[in-house]
Amino acid sequence: MGEKIGYARVSTREQNLSSQEDALSKAGCIRIFTDKISGKEFNREGLKACMDYLRAEDTLVIFRLDRLGRSVKEMLDLCAQLESRHIKLVSLQDNLDTSTAVGRFTMQILASLAEYNRNLILEGCKAGIEAAQKRGVKFGRQAGTKMKKPKKEAVITMYKAGTSIKDIMNITGIKSIQTIYNYLKEEHITPSRR
């Protein structure tokens, strides 16, 4: 029988973890890991420590699903990682428990919706790029910054939708991986290895 381990996060604006910690303690968590940073921050030391601490058959208890990630994709990736390690997930406010059939089904629906949304965004980006090319807009390395803004927006949109760096480069025609990283860093997004 595993242990219940809690994870709580607040942004620097909220500054108060006590309500989440109280709820997690009441739910039977023997240890609670915390972070006090914005969801845009990719590296969360509390979450990393929590993931390192969890063992098979443990249950990760959170206050709400949005405490896990800054995006649906990040949250679902984390849930998939938990599942592969045989760790259950309970979200108190969302009434979600992956140890139940209903909880697992809910996560499958969320994953399907996220995939559908990614595909819609990709199709929209491809259509936008094709329309721009028909109007004579050139993609790839250019002198000056005329194309920087729309191309950067396409990169950010596709990355947030879960598109791999390689696919973004293929779709946009950007040849340098450093250009992609620069666009992401300008938006304070730390690229992950996808």
Q: Which fold has domain 4-99?
A: Rossmann fold (3.40.50)
Annotation says 11 is catalytic: yes
For the chain, the domains span 4-99, 118-186
CA distance 132 to 176: 21
Q: Are 158 and 167 in contact (CB under 8 A)?
A: yes
Chain centroid to CA 191: how far? 11
Q: What is the pLDDT of residue 62?
A: 94
Q: What is the pLDDT of residue 143?
A: 47
* 145 φ, ψ (degrees, to nearest 5): -120, 20
Residue 71 has pLDDT above 80, yes or no: no
**H-helix or E-strand containing 5?**
strand 4-10
Residue 101 has pLDDT above 80, yes or no: yes
Which of 11, 112, 164, 192 is an active site residue? 11
Residue 92 has pLDDT above 60, yes or no: yes
154: confidence class by pLDDT, cuts 50, 70, 90: confident
Angle between helices 148-160 and 177-186 (to 10 degrees): 80
**Which residue, among 190, 161, 189, 166, has the nearest Cα to 176 in the 3D structure?**
166
CA distance 8 to 69: 11
Percent of the chain with pLDDT over 70: 81
Partner residues linked to 61 by β-bridges: 6, 90
Q: Are 33 and 53 in contact (CB under 8 A)?
A: yes
**Which residue, among 12, 56, 10, 14, has the nearest Cα to 33 in the 3D structure?**
10
pTM of the model as a whole: 0.59
Q: What is the pLDDT of residue 43?
A: 66
